[in-house]
Structure 1
Amino acid sequence: MMQTWRIILCISMVTAKSPNILLIIVDDLGYGDVGCFGNQTIRTPSIDKLSTQGVKLTHHLTSSALCTPSRSSLLTGRYPSRTGMVPTPPSRFGVILFLASSAGLPQSEITIAEQAKSKGYKTGLIGKWHLGWSESKYNDSVFHPLNHGFDYYYGHPLTNMQDWYDDGSSVFYSQNPMIHWQALASIIAIMLPMYFLYRKKYIGAVILSLILFLICFVWGYVFFAFHHVTLFNSLLYRNFDLVEQPINLETLSERYTKESIEFLENSQKENVPFLLVVSWSHVHTALITSKQFRGKSKHGRYGDAVEEMDYGTGQILSSLAKLGLADDTLVYFTSDNGAHLEERGLHGEVDGGVNTPFKGGKAQTSVDGGIRVPSIVRFPNQIKENIEISEPTTQMDMFTTISNLMGADIPKDRFIDGKDIMPLMKQKEKITPNPFLYHYCNNEIHAMRYRPPKGNQIWKLVFKEPNYMPGETKCAGLVCACKNAIVLDPPVFYEMTSDLGEQKPIPSDSSEKYRNLRDILMKELDDHVKSVGTINSQLTISKLLWNPLLQPCCNFPSCKCTDPKYS
């Protein structure tokens, strides 16, 4: 009898320490794009239902307002400055632009998937990766998901782009419609003086010839790389195998749903705990959906994509319940950054969402519209249903929270920024374990946040703000560039519990109270910067450039194939 009880106790302890983990990441979903976070016109019944079954995190923040750095932080629990997933001058591109480049999340980093594998979990990633591929040789796959702790991968390694759908839309050309004429003008500007110098037989003509050659080469390289961005980047992989090029976007969401459900079914049959990351291609452009959802929402292609993503999320959650796994699974739903406000379609239609009630959007790190995202955690029998937490939390916290749930050791050889927020979500604690948070725009901190130990006020100190167009909260061009941000002297405070839209700036030198508050924050900022040290950037110009020697291609030279599983 005693032996039987020991077996039962042992089984119960293993079950308690080995919950399943399901992470659902949406691309560019705005805070105000789903019903449970305030939207009244886009239909999101699956996400709304999920919010009633757990905790709604209303002050949940990303580490960056761009996808590559924010996703690196979610997986590692570390600010992107620590992992090198930020550019340093002269580079200013905060995301990986080409699959055939040398940039990526270093193998020395420890991801949540590696934490799970160390505890015997089956791990899978379905969907977007955007953290690098090969480093120095063709298909060396140094940065591949399977080399970062995942057992199974099915998805697109880069990011969905306008150019991937054959309707004439193009990120590059829509932002630079006169670029052909600019290139021609540059060449003519060199050729004319060169012609006269040649006639005079001046040595300067030789130098100008070299300059002309260099300009032509650069323009040719840029045109070739971006003109063929679909061919180079629209690739779908199953593990290490390239199975589709270019991707059929109309069926992609449906396939991701099927692959996710298949992973859950296999895990249930094998009776092993799992960590599954579902990383939707929606709602990043191109906004292409299946016929079932096309033209059905009140907000054009963007609304259609949100509703298809919600449907797929609902199908996965329903499968979890049918398999009897729901009660033992922590579900985390979030977005990689705020909605993109500047995004426009071929005919000028809005292709981005809303971040109401917050100011700004994607690529704007110093305002909450770029970094505060709709997030939900459901964990039956552990977290109460239908509650809200307005304390500041971050995506980095999920690394530590989930690691502790799985019984995995938190790495001691590096600085882990994420905190365990399970006591907060269980309402055993009332105040966030994150008193200070730092908001990076590339390699610079443009703002920081402070939650004092007493009271309920939350302060944000802003050092730089986006350079908006007059009367707008968006910038000229595709995104707000970090290098164009306006320096605030003195920095200003916003009280984020009463001024959600950041409309009432308070100069930090306006009174002794605010000077003292600023001193507290500046001391913490100095300590943080020292702890980061010198940034070893993975997003340098040389690493981000398209490298033809790293370019994958199926069925060379056509570079076309269709996934045989779904053909």
Structure 2
Amino acid sequence: MVEGRVLVFLVLLGCINAAKRPNVLVLMVDDLGYGDVGCYDNVTIKTPNIDSLARDGARFTQALAAASTCTPSRAAFLTARYPVRQGMSGGSLGREVILFTAQKGGLPQTEVTLGKVLLEQGYNTSYVGKWHLGVSCERYGDNCHTPMAHGFQYWYGMPMTNVKDFGDDGESVVSAQMPNFFRYLYAVLSGSCLAALVLRSRSRFLFFLMMLVALVATLILLFISCSKIFNSMIMKNGEVHTFLATVPEFRGKSRHGLYGDSVLELDWAVGEILSELRRLGLADDTIVYLTSDNGGHLEERGVAGDVQGGYNGPLRGGKLMGAMEGGIRVPTLLRYPPLVRPGTTIDAPVSLMDLFPTVLSVAGIDMKSTPVGDRTLDGRDLTPLLTGRADRSPHEFLFHYCTDVVHAVRWMENASTTWKVQFYLPNWLPGTERCHFACLCSEARRLETPLIYNIQQDISERRPLPVGSEQYRRVLERCQRARDEHLAGVEAVPDQLTWSQFIWRPSLQPCCTLPYCTCEDPKYPQPY
């Protein structure tokens, strides 16, 4: 991928007996916006290969991620369970994502993923691309959180996510959030050193205090400067390799900078994969599912101020904005010729968690015979919608979380009416609908008077129901009751993103050439 913000992970699940059971190919894009591709009304970026999936299969207009950021969304997608049920929501700390490869938290081994179920049922399973659900538990190499611990026989990809620090263009997540951070830190470092020199003969206590301040500032600078080495890597099963961020063939090919170039590369990659399916004679025997883990990141900017985030079309908000449509409603396509008519459009609200039970249904796998057992699944079988036997969502309610707090409730009252009750809004900058670098769940504003939209008719969330009207009171009461009943059924589990799990640990740090942790890709040499 080029140095934009679009990545793909591919979950390749090849069936041993393809004549009776479908192969399954999942393409999940990182941070792809609702309006970034042609089949979702983008007219400035050509995406013919992605658009072919809509032409030959089904296009969902209300496909919803379980969270508006990567880690919890991917955990829910793989398990068909809300992330709060797995301790992957971030909890009260507001830590929504995994930040280091060398931290303990991750997707618990007790969770049953789609990969585990299909592996047990005779499928060959592979996971290629971004993971972002943890690596190790007690020591580097135990791989307790990696795809290999969750039903995938082969893994080649990134343990982390594509953050700014991975490139060689001076980008940094820290400076993006706090533009003057390094300037202030260097000022503290130089000032404390100068003060130590002045105070050396006057006060030993103040001298050592200033030296301590200088030491802390130095360690912070070293740690942040090494973040690229700590997190910028790909892994093949349990081995570490260099991370490749730049593919020059697509640079400057779009009208939308690095991000647009990334979308073009993404579409090319999808085309290559689909061509290979046709060459192998597997196109008609394979469920192809393409989606995004969350919406486009509106605040993403380069060092020159250029836009490097996605476009969410008519939707309000974006990535990390709790339950705003732009953060959770994502482009989603499914092609499977034996089941889905070409050109199908599905307007009913569905969840990305629905893929798990849908695949099992299409493959004829009895859920009761799998390791899922009696555990609560929040995903639903979509085959009635895909075949046209139903036009109504299999869900009555969907709950939109930001960490472990329900920010909104969606009530599918009937096939033509979907209510969305918004209990929280992001803490936007005054006069805008954006945050500085990213909106945090912990900073969201709780609304004393919730907002209610008929989201089926008001996709942009601009026309709330009149407060105090009979319709408002009826919908609010029903959704509050559903939320309370849902929360009562959510059992407490260990939080995977507590401070003790969250901190960087040297003993868990992957490294390919100690003590330097540097390596090269033979095709694209990029010494660090």
Q: Same fold (TM over 0.5)?
A: yes
Q: What is the CA deviation profile of residues 179-201 of structure 1, one whole-angstrom value per residue up to 9, with x for unaligned ones?
A: 24544777899999999x99999
**1:157 counterpart letter in structure 2:** P
1:223 CA drift (Å) = 3.3
Q: CA deviation at 1:428?
A: 0.7
Deviations 1:247-284 (A, max 9, x none): 2323xxxxxxxxxxxxxxxxxxxxxxxxxxxxxxxxxx
Shift, 1:291, TM fit: 2.7
1:413, distance to aligned residue in structure 2 (A): 3.1
Gapped runs of 5+ residues in structure 1? 1-13, 251-289
Q: What does 1:352-371 correspond to in 2, within 5 Å?
A: 352-371=309-328
Q: Return closer, same or farther for 1:210/1:358 CA change in 2, 3 Å cut-off.
A: farther
For residues 456 and 293 of structure 1, the distance between their equivalents in structure 2, rounded to whole angstroms, comes to 42
Distance 1:154 1:192, change over 3 A: closer
Residue number in structure 1 paired with 2:266: 309
1:324-339 correspondence runs (5 A): 324-339=281-296
Q: Tell me the residue number matched to 1:43.
A: 46
Q: Give the Å deviation of 1:141.
A: 0.9
Could you say what secondary structure the match of 1:306 adopts? helix
Which AA in structure 1 matches 2:223? Answer: A
CA 307–94 in structure 1, closer or farther in 2 if over 3 Å, else same: same
Q: Determine the structure 2 residue equivalent to 1:240.
A: 238
- Answering whether residue 446 of structure 2 is matched by residue 494 of structure 1, we say no
Structure 1 range deviating more: 335-344 or 465-474: 465-474
Q: 1:212–1:485: structure 2 CA closer, same or farther, 3 Å change rule?
A: farther
Equivalent residue number for residue 408 of structure 2 = 447
Partner residue in 2 for 1:503? 462
Residue aligning to 2:424: 464
Given the alignment, which residue of 486, 490, 498 partners 1:532? 490
| Letter of the structure 2 residue corresponding to residue 311 of structure 1 | W
Instruction: Kindly state the Cα deviation for residue 88 of structure 1 after the two structures are TM-superposed.
Output: 2.1
Query: In structure 2, which of residues 352, 357, 368 is the aligned counterpart of residue 400 of structure 1?
Result: 357
One of 117, 123, 146 as aligned partner of 2:148: 146
Cα distance in 1 for partners of 2:480, 2:214 equals 48
Describe the shift of the 1:565–1:308 C-alpha distance in structure 2 as closer, same or farther (beyond 3 A). Answer: closer
Matched, 1:67 2:65: no
Kept after mapping to 1: 8 A contact 2:67/2:294? yes
Question: In 2, distance between residues paired with 1:66 and 1:120?
Answer: 32
SS at match of 1:33: coil
Q: Amino acid of the residue matched to residue 161 of structure 1?
A: V
Counterpart amino acid of 2:239?
Answer: D
> Residue 225 of structure 1 is aligned with which of 223, 228, 241?
223
Tell me how far apart the structure 1 counterparts of residues 307 and 427 of structure 2 sit (CA, whole Å). Answer: 21
Alignment of 1:53-64 (within 5 A): 53-64=56-67
Classify the secondary structure of the residue corresponding to 2:95: coil
1:548 partner letter: P
Alignment CA distance shift 1:146-1:44 (3 Å) = same
Distance in 2 between residues matched to 1:45 and 1:396, nearest whole Å: 27
CA distance in 2, matches of 1:291, 1:565: 12
Aligned to 1:10: none
Deviation per residue, 1:199-222 (Å, 9 max, x gap): 999xxxx99999989876765554
Rounded Cα–Cα distance in structure 2 between residues aligned with 1:68 and 1:207: 46
Q: CA deviation at 1:544?
A: 1.6
Aligned residues: 506
CA distance in 2: counterparts of 1:156 and 1:127, whole angstroms: 6
Question: Is 1:420 equivalent to 2:381 in the alignment?
Answer: yes
Q: Is the 8 Å Cα contact of residues 192 and 213 (structure 2) preserved in structure 1?
A: no
Q: Distance in 2 between matches of 1:438 and 1:207?
A: 56
Cα distance change on mapping 1:77 and 1:347 into 2, 3 Å: same
Alignment of 1:347 with 2:304, yes or no, is: yes
2:230 match: secondary structure: helix
Instruction: Please give the alpha-carbon distance, in whole angstroms, between the structure 1 residues aligned to 2:210 and 2:444.
Output: 33
2:375 corresponds to 1:372: no
For residues 177 and 450 of structure 2, the distance between their equivalents in structure 1, rounded to whole angstroms, comes to 32
Determine the C-alpha separation between the residues in 1 that align with 2:255 and 2:175. 28
Given candidates 462, 465, 476, the residue that maps to 1:518 is 476
- Mean alpha-carbon deviation: is it higher for 206-215 or for 556-565? 206-215
Q: 1:531 Cα shift?
A: 1.1
Other-structure match for 2:170: 168
* CA distance in structure 2 between the partners assigned to 1:107 and 1:41 by the alignment: 43
Q: Please state whether the residue corresponding to 1:31 is helix, strand or coil.
A: coil
| Kept in 1: contact 2:62–2:350 (CA 8 A) | yes
Mean alpha-carbon deviation: is it higher for 35-44 or for 515-524? 515-524
For 1:306, the aligned partner's letter is V
- The residue number in structure 2 matching 1:249 is 245
Question: Equivalents in 1 of 2:42, 2:488: separation in Å?
Answer: 42
Identity %, equivalent residues: 42
Number of the residue aligned with 1:320: 277
Q: For residues 375-405 of structure 1, give each alpha carbon's deviation from its aligned partner in whole angstroms, at most 9, with x where no partner exists.
A: 0000112111101001000000011111222
Quickly say closer, same or farther: Cα 1:328–1:460, change in 2 above 3 A.
Answer: same
* Partner SS for 1:147: helix
Residue 226 of structure 1 and its aligned partner are, at CA, apart by 2.3
Q: Indicate conservation of the 8 Å contact 2:242/2:521, yes or no.
A: no
Distance of 2:192 and 2:81 partners within structure 1: 48
Do the aligned partners of 1:302 and 1:353 also contact (CA within 8 Å) in 2? Answer: yes
1:268 aligned residue: none
Q: Equivalences for 1:61-140 in 2 at 5 Å? A: 61-89=64-92, 91-140=93-142
- SS of the aligned residue for 2:409 comes to strand
Cα deviation, residue 322, structure 1: 1.0
- Provide the residue aligned with 1:156 in structure 2: 158
Q: Larger deviation: 554-563 or 122-131?
A: 554-563
Cα displacement (A) at 1:408: 3.5
Partner of 1:5: none
Q: Partners in 2 of 1:506 and 1:213 — Cα distance? A: 61
In 1, Cα distance between equivalents of 2:406 and 2:508: 33
Whether the aligned pair in 1 keeps the contact of 2:88 and 2:106 (CA below 8 Å) is yes
Against the structure 1 CA distance between its residues 191 and 414, is the aligned structure 2 distance closer, same or farther, given a 3 Å change threshold? Answer: farther
The equivalent of 2:502 in structure 1 is 544
After superposition, the Cα gap between the structure-2 partners of 1:557 and 1:505, relative to the gap in structure 1 and judged at 3 Å, is same
Deviates more, 1:403-412 or 1:79-88: 403-412
Question: In the aligned structure 1, how far is the partner of 2:289 from the partner of 2:496?
Answer: 28
Helix, strand or coil: the match of 1:334? strand
Q: Structure 1, residues 505-544: CA drift from partner, whole Å, max 9, x if none? A: 235x512222122111111101111111324211112212
Given that 1:235 and 1:246 are in contact with CA atoms closer than 8 Å, whether structure 2 keeps it comes out as yes
Provide the TM-score with structure 2 as the length reference. 0.89
